Amino acid sequence: MFIRNAWYIAAWSDDIRQTPFARRILDEPIVLFRDSSGAIAALEDRCCHRGTPLALGEVVPAGLQCGYHGLVFDRGGKCVLVPGGHTIPPDARVRSYPVVEKDAFVWIWMGDPSRADRSLILDYPYHNDRKNWPHKHTTYPIKCNYMLLIDNLMDLSHLGFIHKETIGGMSPALHVEAKMRTVKTPAGVRFDRWMLDSEPPPTYVKAAGFKGRVDRWQEFEFVAPGTVLQWSGAVDAGRGVFKDFKYGGSRDGGFSLRLFHGATPETENRCFYFWSTANGYRQNDPIATAELFDEIARAFNQDKTVVEAQQARLDENPGAPLIDIHGDGARIHARRAVERLLAQENSAVVPVAAG
């Protein structure tokens, strides 16, 4: 069961060219393409004539043409040509999905089109700020329910186990004992963690050349249905200040990264993981951007191995009980946010009883 009335990332803007691009989203076959005007459209990837995937066709001036018998569909999914100039049956159409290109993403609305309000799409200006936040991005297809990716990001105690040699570093215990504040938000949950006077992980030292211990922060926000925004960094120990459970010291001159994590369901047990890394240090050095991306890629491949094994195990016995531990606070908030949205979407509209 998926939240449908929501914006999901369908692709990166630069994935979509005039060649049709097929992707399954929320278990529906979608074809994305850029029409002759350069605007992006998303249609059901199944010709209404004989069921052929439209992705085998090609973009023509009037829209997307099926590669089998040549029906053409416009951006709205309406059939606008049956070859030979023959009558177009009135029900000749395929479903069209609202799409918005923004901040390097193509966002898609999988629910009721009349509710597709583009002001609901979150902002991620860092993708447009090459000067301060040069970035690099990619997509990983992952064989797990998308919420296992969110779970992963909501409990950072895993850093010390899975990512010892990359972004984790330090002893596992230190990750577990990091100070943390978790706050529910209307659309999810936000948490801040900090580790004062701690040993910097290998990735940080490589990137920013720390000589000694650091003051380190991690700020995460989950925005339902599938986005996690991350800002993490460190400065030389003594320069960081935490007050009222917030980071208040300098963030300059140390290590700082922003990670965008977007999880879009492909099916119930597969998803696409859209992620980018942006470096808030050595911004003029393309090697810094490339190296950070490579380090994070290494870490995310470690996560991929674990969450795919986890999904396989859960699939074997879906109803078997699991237990919660201390570190599950933020994860549980994130799950509840998703459940609330699902419940809202599936609740019948109850008419108010007349007095």
The whole-angstrom distance between residue 10's C-alpha and the CA centroid of its chain comes to 9
Identify which of residues 63 and 134 has a Cβ nearer to a copy of itself in the complex: 63
By beta-carbon proximity to a copy of itself, the closer residue of 173 and 287 is 173
Minimum distance of a copy of itself from residue 165's CB (angstroms):
13
Please identify, using beta-carbon distances, which residue of 215 and 303 lies nearer to a copy of itself.
Answer: 303
Give the count of alpha carbons within 13 A of 61, CB side only: 0
Place of tokens 């018998």: 69
Nearest distance from C-beta of residue 275 to a copy of itself, angstroms: 19
Nearer CB in complex with a copy of itself: 94/208? 94
- Position of tokens 């943390």? 180
| Burial group, residue 283, by CB count within 10 angstroms (0-12, 13-18, 19+) | middle
Q: Are 233 and 255 in contact (CB under 8 A)?
A: yes
Q: Which is nearer to a copy of itself, 104 or 150 (CB)?
A: 150
CB 272, CB 139: distance < 8 Å? yes
CB of 277 to a copy of itself, least distance (A): 23
Q: Residue 64 forms beta bridges with which residues? A: 59, 73
Tokens (6 digits) for 285: 């050095």
CB-nearer residue toward a copy of itself: 2 or 126: 2
Contact (Cβ atoms closer than 8 angstroms) between residue 177 and residue 216: no
Cite the DSSP H helix spans in the chain: 146-154, 159-162, 172-176, 202-208, 286-316, 329-346
For a copy of itself, which is the closer residue by CB, 318 or 355? 318
Measured from the CB of residue 162, what is the shortest distance to a copy of itself in angstroms? 7
Question: Side chain identity at 48, as an amino acid letter?
Answer: C
Minimum Å gap between C-beta 16 and a copy of itself is 20
* 107's tokens: 């966002």
Instruction: Please report how close the Cβ of residue 303 comes to a copy of itself at its closest, in angstroms.
Output: 10
The DSSP letter of residue 78 is B
In terms of phi and psi (left: phi > 0; alpha: psi -120 to 50; beta: otherwise), the region of 282 is: left
Enumerate binding residues for a copy of itself (CB under 8 A). Answer: 29, 45-46, 48-53, 56-57, 65-71, 82-84, 86-87, 89, 91-92, 151, 155, 157-158, 160-162, 172-173, 176-177, 305-306, 309-310, 312-314, 316-317, 320-327
For the bound state, the minimum distance from the C-beta of residue 317 to a copy of itself, rounded and expressed in Å, comes to 8
Sign of CA pseudo-dihedral 186, 146, 156, 13: negative
